[in-house]
Chains A and B, each alone.
Chain A
Amino acid sequence: MSRNAPDGDDADTSNSRPQSNQGSTPVRTPRKQQKSSQQRLHTFQTPLHADESPTPTPSPSSRRLYPGTGGRTATDPDDSECATPTPAPHRYGLRARRASRGLSNKNNNNNNNNNNNIQTRVRNRNRNNPNCTCSHNTRPPASIMASGGKWREEQILIICPGSRTTMAQLGCGELSPPAHRIPTRMFRDEEEPEQWRPYYTYKRTTVTDGVEREEWVEDVDEDKGAVWPIEGGRIVQMDAFLAFLDHVHGLLTTTYHNTPIMLMASPQWTRPDCETIARYIFEKTKTPALCLIHSGIATQYGLKWPNMTVVDIGYEKVDVTAIHDGRVVNHMDLGRPLPDRFISGGEVFTRKLLQLLEGQGFNHDMAEQLKKSGICEVLPYAPAKKELMDLPVESSPNASQSQPRSTAAPGTTAEEGAAPGSGAVDSTVAAAAEAASQHAPTTDEPAVEEDVAMEDNDGLDTNVDEDGVLDVASIVTSGQTKEFLAKKEKEKEKEKGKPGRKSNKDKDGDAAAQARPLRQPNSKKVRNTFSYEEIVMEEVPKEVPAPVSAPTQGAGGGGVEEVVATEKAAEPAAEKAAEPATEPAAQGTQAEEDSKAPAPAATETEAPVVKTEESKPNGDDNDNENGTESKPAADVANGEQGKAADADTGAKANADADASAKNGEPPELRPKRIRREIEVGLERFLFADRAEIDRIVSTIYRTIQGVEDMYMRPACWDNLVFVGNGSRLRGLKDNILQTLNARHLISPSTATMFTSELPSNVATPAGTGSQTPVGSFSGAPHQLASSGVNPLLQAATTASTLGVAGRDTIQVATGSTPMVGSEAAGPASGHHFHSQTPTSIRTIALPTYLSEWSKNGFEEAMFLGAQVAARIAFCLHSNMDAQAIEAQKSMSLSRVDYNEHGPKAIRTHSMLS
């Protein structure tokens, strides 16, 4: 597994997409050149493949489609955006970028049918016009235009664009999580600024067979110069956005004429925006029908409650949409790009984290990874505390040294920033390690489970490549690779059988309980470590062109691969044996170290307590080597500091250096993945910016309280849902909910209980329970729910009997809290609702019958809803009466209607409000 990957990809892709001929078409570039360029760019991907395979990907076919999926974890700051790349069971979309990359392979194949070089291609302007629109020149004539809204589920293209990532999929038959996550970005063509390219493209000169050639190379990962057409939900670059839509379409399908499009619209899209999009789609493409759906409505279709308040926490924006009976009744948002923009959403937390940790050498990428890791969490709202959260305090007597630090986080920052990588850090590590081991035996069972749940399921989850602090290198080098992998595989098999987080959690909890010593939950630890992965460009020898690719395979991909243990890891491990001598030597020493290391590393299945303090996160290989050298002291002191990862990389650097020396060729830059353990203190809790949470809380409050018809408000309060990948931040939803409850909840008042003149025999409200202030009480406390309540009691406790019966606004206070979907809520009966709200604040129950979504998390429920809506709008043909047909017709805009009414028809033929 390695450099061949691209070829493998090709094969896979072409399997699944027989119409694309990329696998077999002759190359425009000379073979060798192509190879090297492939390799160069694919080195990014090769190690990543290894990761990918064991992931419980939704469907085998989709995995096949995305060979590159599962790569370098989360180098992207995208995650928190609404349509964030999120692989199935992850809390954050750690491998998202990869997914899109894998996708992009395919795109290239697709867009450039004549040119099979995947990553690199010589640009032929005539054929491969940079504007990806043109790639559709070859589509079949659209003579067969579907009419009358009859399409099959697999024909429908679903696109949910977000500011960072767009979720897309062809077909809505499976109701699966999005098959594709594509960065929402385009690049201006350097030569024709009016044109857009889907990837970063640069020119380079290569020498092949003595001939110097210029070629254009696409780097599918590069963000440089990217234009992000959507900002905070608003389309800021319409032409780029349209080109992007076209690009997405091109990735997923080749024809337009029978592919209706379901496009999710952010609430910020203006009416002219929607019309422009409609116009483009109908005039520039042969799309038969288009449905625009409001993202809040889409969420509602996904979760199927008639009344909801959708809180969509995205990358740089928060949308709060109150929906009553399927209609948007109020909407507010944060983070609109305005002259003065105050962003809101996931990125705010990343920035805050960065701000806190900058002194420790963190960069944005590290902050992002830390945020996504299991150890970063928003602690529960503690109403009485000064910081409004229960920060853990150092409890180990041995750790008195770090006591002051832990209570004052900024202090920590300063100290660590001042003494990078030297003794001070080591002692910190030692202290922390000691503290950890001290705590371990004292912790009880539930704590462990919680811990496991948090570390392994929520944030990092059980995928091999995300095993968080799993120190693969040490396992590999300790010679237990096979056993370990077998075990992991078994676990995974079991997990696959059991969908849903809960079961995973339980199972893992059990397994872990047996396998590892007991530990504290993350929220009780002053310090904790997370595993940071980055890709650095390292110099490697340029390959000697060899007739057989096998040797190069080892040299090319192996180095990085070993760090990444997957099912394929056995292979590189085997290959390693053949590698230059320095490496085994290094491994040998590590193995010794490892074997010396006591219990934790060996026994813990997933997260050995390996603390590695990296003072310089961006450290290159030299740093790593230095680190290795300086560590033994620490190792001795701690007795359990397996420095395997660093040592390993260091060793490999040596090996590579040697090799390059041998070859005597100019070294080539090659990406390499490095994983390091970084310890973080209380910053990982303190980043939970109260100001930001307060903003979200008050926006929710104002949105619902701003719903004009009061009777709708209780239903909206009782059906909150948090979506958007920004809400995956651990603890955030709970904290928001707790804050709402602590700040805004209207409690049942004692005034109604004791001041009304009740007959003594009905005085005790226990019979109905409706007036008892218990936790689950949900009615209007001052006006009582009518159902089942003694009418006398009700009359006595409400101001309903003023002798004006018969008027059209009898104010029988409320009747009842409008129940989900009930008609009683409406003003139809002449009853007006005048209760103060909220008397209860609850989130909705998420559907449980969609196991893939349970695994994926309903943060992307809008995509699910878009699929459901697409089915209804496009695929429902039978058992409909005239009214239903009419309603269906107004859900989407067909070409016939477009031809008749023009773009403005999208105003009435859509699901925008």
Chain B
Amino acid sequence: MWARISHHLRTDSLGALLRASQPIGRQPLRIANMAQQPLPSSAQPTDIYGGDEVSALVLDPGYCNTRAGYAGEDVPKSILPSFYGHITSDPPRDLFGDECIIPRGDFEVRNYMNKDSVVEDWDVAAKLWEFMLVKRLQPERQTHPSKNGLNDDIKEQDGEGDVAMEEVEGLEKPLEEFPLLMSEAPWNSPKAREKAIELSMESWGTPAFWLSRTPVLASFAAGKATALVIDVGGANTSVTAIHDGMVLKRSIQRSPAGGLWLSSQIRKMWETSEPKVDLVPTFMVENKTPVDALAPPQARLREFPFKIHDSFRAFEEERVLTEFKESVVEVWRGPGRYGAAGNEEYIKSQPGRVFEMPDGYNQMWREQRFKVAEGMWDENAGYPVPEDERLNKAQTIPELIRSALNSVDVDLRGTLLGNVVVTGSTSLINGFNDRLNNELTAMYPGLKIKIHAAGLSSERRFGAWIGGSILASLGTFHQMWISKKEYEENGAGIVEKRCK
């Protein structure tokens, strides 16, 4: 009973805490509509919170990228793809980091997260996270110089990935001085949450731990304790209402209408285009010669003396698709939907954008570049895809928002609509915010709608991480952490009780 009350107190204080505190560091926050104005950065005393002493680490795993860094910094120091390389030949090994994902034989690209943005492969997750938190962010460990030399090699030969773990057990644990704040999808399972705290406490020896849901953190990054967070990410789009630093569970809505879905639309568009556009990823191109628009490409392709695994190719194709999304794809801003009468004709009369494929093929895209993104808003638009990939009406962004709002108290809706936080890298697509604004205005006429979307791309892409960075560096957050002692007394279940 007491635990319950104290938990309420604590969670309540999360919002209060944010209100009372200022984000620190050089965080270039653009806080639009906040009760409290941030101090000018020059006037920020470094130790007003006292919490600066804590060198907390923040880990934000996502489907496309995993971000890690020190609390208090404005961008994560270490950003790695959640995709990793796996060498299938003997001995099988896992390789982490962009640097390692290169064409080679007996090599697959895998992802430790699944498309729900939930950890799927915990063994690899532990390794990858440790790689980021320890290898990338911590100095080389000095305690046992004898282990630095030849011993490592021997271990490498037999040990595939447990090396680090074994080492850890023998030595002092790698993160004994660093509290860890992790993010999770709002729909993360209790089991996975327990696994996370176990890993943190047992394997890394962190003195304190906290698990926070990404929308909460994203709203913190925007300087809001109450917000409607629209997170358009790589594998998912989610809409979540946050009230006073707490997720309103019933409001959580999600759909696959994210980056991957958009990629499949683009692929479809290329396939059905006339002439068909061949997606040759960059790594296959040795060099290219400029060709006229729509002319067949003239590129010299690279030859590899080994078979390139499909997963690697898909990973590389995604890079091209990302570039296409960045520079060509655009959301129809309105008025009305793309499908509304006259809109398509109007767009066709407008100049388009040219995209040059890695192999030199180039083409101008006009109405198509709007059409690919339209499916996120209108289930009837977009390119036809197989039944199982198709979005139904409830999965479009306007419907997600509607159902999220419908599930919360009517009194709260106005506040939420006045604090819409847009985050996630797919939201960076040109025109997204305009369209969102139009849709919301159409859906809720008469309510004041205020969209907050960070201007800097990095703040949008790393919204949740930045929120975590702010939260974990607040001195007042000290009292919130689950300490090692609490964990030892209560076991992994504590995370369910505390991190609501």
Say whether B156 contacts A339, CB under 8 Å: yes
Say whether B351 contacts A798, CB under 8 Å: yes
Selected interface stretch from A328-336, A509-517, A870-878 = A328-336
Say whether A802 contacts B350, CB under 8 Å: yes
Our pick among B98, B163, B286, B355 for the contact of A339 (Cβ within 8 Å) is: B163
Shortest C-beta distance, B338 to chain A (Å), equals: 12
Say whether B323 contacts A751, CB under 8 Å: no
Across the interface, name the chain B residue whose C-beta is closest to A337. Answer: B140
Selected interface stretch from A297-305, A404-412, A471-479, A740-748 = A740-748
| B102 interface hit (Cβ, 8 Å) | yes
CA distance A755 to B362 in the complex (A): 13
Our pick among A235, A276, A749, A886 for the contact of B356 (Cβ within 8 Å) is: A749
Our pick among A381, A709, A743, A832 for the contact of B430 (Cβ within 8 Å) is: A832
Say whether A802 contacts B287, CB under 8 Å: no
**Total A-B residue contacts, Cβ distance less than 8 Å:** 169
Report chain B residues within 8 Å CB of A739: 287
Within 8 A of B (CB), among A314-351: 332-334, 336, 338-340, 342
Our pick among A234, A383, A750 for the contact of B140 (Cβ within 8 Å) is: A234
Report chain A residues within 8 Å CB of B326: 710, 834
Say whether B287 contacts A742, CB under 8 Å: yes
CA distance A743 to B99 in the complex (A): 19
Across the interface, name the chain A residue whose C-beta is closest to B456. Answer: A709
Report chain A residues within 8 Å CB of B328: 834, 836
Shortest C-beta distance, B344 to chain A (Å), equals: 13
Our pick among B42, B72, B300, B333 for the contact of A886 (Cβ within 8 Å) is: B42
Report chain A residues within 8 Å CB of B77: 271
Say whether A836 contacts B323, CB under 8 Å: yes
| A695 interface hit (Cβ, 8 Å) | yes
Within 8 A of A (CB), among B301-356: 323, 326-328, 330, 333-334, 346-347, 350-356
Across the interface, name the chain B residue whose C-beta is closest to A832. Answer: B430
Report chain A residues within 8 Å CB of B286: 383, 388, 742-743
Say whether A709 contacts B457, CB under 8 Å: yes
Across the interface, name the chain A residue whose C-beta is closest to B324. Answer: A836
| A574 interface hit (Cβ, 8 Å) | no
| B288 interface hit (Cβ, 8 Å) | yes
Say whether B137 contacts A271, CB under 8 Å: yes
CA distance A384 to B323 in the complex (A): 27
**1/0 per position for A520-558, CB-CB distance to B under 8 A?**
000000000000000000000000000000000000000
Say whether B351 contacts A756, CB under 8 Å: yes
Say whether A782 contacts B283, CB under 8 Å: no
| A811 interface hit (Cβ, 8 Å) | yes
Q: Given the known A-B contacts A749-B364, A799-B350, A832-B430, are A905 and B46 also in contact in the complex, defined by CB atoms under 8 Å?
A: yes
| B398 interface hit (Cβ, 8 Å) | no
| B105 interface hit (Cβ, 8 Å) | no
Shortest C-beta distance, B34 to chain A (Å), equals: 19
Within 8 A of B (CB), among A869-913: 883, 886, 901, 904-905, 907-908
**1/0 per position for A375-406, CB-CB distance to B under 8 A?**
00000010110001000000000000000000
Shortest C-beta distance, B205 to chain A (Å), equals: 16
Q: Given the known A-B contacts A751-B363, A807-B434, are A270 and B352 also in contact in the complex, defined by CB atoms under 8 Å?
A: no
| A225 interface hit (Cβ, 8 Å) | no
| A239 interface hit (Cβ, 8 Å) | yes
Across the interface, name the chain B residue whose C-beta is closest to A826. Answer: B455
Label chain B's interface by main secondary structure: mixed
Q: Given the known A-B contacts A235-B139, A333-B99, are A799 and B283 also in contact in the complex, defined by CB atoms under 8 Å?
A: no
Our pick among A708, A807, A883 for the contact of B457 (Cβ within 8 Å) is: A708
**Which bracket fits the contact residues of A?**
35 or more
Report chain A residues within 8 Å CB of B455: 827
CA distance A901 to B44 in the complex (A): 14
CA distance A820 to B13 in the complex (A): 47
Our pick among B142, B152, B363 for the contact of A238 (Cβ within 8 Å) is: B142
Our pick among B42, B156, B350 for the contact of A801 (Cβ within 8 Å) is: B350
Interface centre among A237, A698, A756, A836 (most CB of B within 10 A): A836
CA distance A832 to B140 in the complex (A): 42
Interface size counted on chain B using CB atoms at 8 A: 73
Say whether A797 contacts B163, CB under 8 Å: no
Across the interface, name the chain A residue whose C-beta is closest to B326. Answer: A710
Across the interface, name the chain A residue whose C-beta is closest to B104. Answer: A691
Our pick among B73, B347, B364 for the contact of A755 (Cβ within 8 Å) is: B364
Report chain B residues within 8 Å CB of A747: 290, 356, 360, 362
Report chain A residues within 8 Å CB of B165: none
Say whether A751 contacts B364, CB under 8 Å: yes
Report chain B residues within 8 Å CB of A710: 326-327, 457
| B20 interface hit (Cβ, 8 Å) | no
Say whether B351 contacts A797, CB under 8 Å: yes
Report chain B residues within 8 Å CB of A755: 293, 351-352, 364
| A824 interface hit (Cβ, 8 Å) | no
| B8 interface hit (Cβ, 8 Å) | no
CA distance A115 to B98 in the complex (A): 53
Say whether A752 contacts B364, CB under 8 Å: yes
Say whether B353 contacts A799, CB under 8 Å: yes
Report chain B residues within 8 Å CB of A272: 55, 138-139
**1/0 per position for A672-704, CB-CB distance to B under 8 A?**
000000000000000000000001001101100
Report chain B residues within 8 Å CB of A901: 46-47
Across the interface, name the chain B residue whose C-beta is closest to A269. Answer: B139
Shortest C-beta distance, B413 to chain A (Å), equals: 25
Say whether A749 contacts B362, CB under 8 Å: yes
| A602 interface hit (Cβ, 8 Å) | no
CA distance A332 to B101 in the complex (A): 13
| B461 interface hit (Cβ, 8 Å) | yes
**1/0 per position for A729-767, CB-CB distance to B under 8 A?**
000000000010011101101111011100000000000
CA distance A709 to B75 in the complex (A): 14
Within 8 A of B (CB), among A780-815: 781-783, 796-799, 801-804, 807-809, 811, 813
Say whether B163 contacts A749, CB under 8 Å: no
Say whether A743 contacts B333, CB under 8 Å: no
CA distance A781 to B364 in the complex (A): 12
Say whether B364 contacts A334, CB under 8 Å: no
| A69 interface hit (Cβ, 8 Å) | no
| A20 interface hit (Cβ, 8 Å) | no
CA distance A701 to B320 in the complex (A): 12
CA distance A904 to B430 in the complex (A): 40
CA distance A342 to B99 in the complex (A): 9
| A440 interface hit (Cβ, 8 Å) | no
Across the interface, name the chain B residue whose C-beta is closest to A901. Answer: B46
Report chain B residues within 8 Å CB of A388: 286
CA distance A332 to B323 in the complex (A): 18
| A236 interface hit (Cβ, 8 Å) | yes
Q: List 21 A-B contacts (CB under 8 A).
A: A237-B140, A270-B136, A334-B99, A338-B96, A702-B98, A742-B288, A743-B282, A749-B356, A751-B294, A751-B352, A751-B354, A755-B352, A755-B364, A798-B351, A803-B346, A807-B333, A808-B434, A834-B326, A836-B354, A901-B46, A904-B53
Given A813-B353, A883-B42: 6 more A-B contacts, CB < 8 Å: A238-B139, A708-B461, A710-B327, A742-B288, A755-B293, A802-B347
- CB-based closest 8 A-B pairs: A751-B293, A747-B290, A742-B287, A708-B457, A751-B364, A749-B354, A782-B354, A383-B287
